[in-house]
Amino acid sequence: AQSVTQLDSQVPVFEEAPVELRCNYSSSVSVYLFWYVQYPNQGLQLLLKYLSGSTLVKGINGFEAEFNKSQTSFHLRKPSVHISDTAEYFCAVSENNQGGKLIFGQGTELSVKP
Partner 1 sequence: DARVTQTPRHKVTEMGQEVTMRCQPILGHNTVFWYRQTMMQGLELLAYFRNRAPLDDSGMPKDRFSAEMPDATLATLKIQPSEPRDSAVYFCASGPSRAVYSYNEQFFGPGTRLTVL
| One of 74, 90, 108, 112 touching partner 1 (CB under 8 A) | 90
The Cα–Cα gap between 58 and 66 comes to: 9
In the chain, DSSP finds a helix count (H) and a strand count (E) of 0, 12
The Cα–Cα gap between 32 and 75 comes to: 14
106 binds partner 1 (CB under 8 A): yes
102 binds partner 1 (CB under 8 A): yes
Q: Contact at 8 Å (CB) between 111 and 22?
A: no
In the bound complex, what is the minimum distance in angstroms from residue 3's beta carbon to partner 1? 12
84 binds partner 1 (CB under 8 A): no
Q: Kindly identify the residues of this chain, within the stretch 23-82, that bind partner 1 according to CB under 8 A.
A: 32, 36, 41-46, 49, 51
Size of the site for partner 1 (CB under 8 A): 23
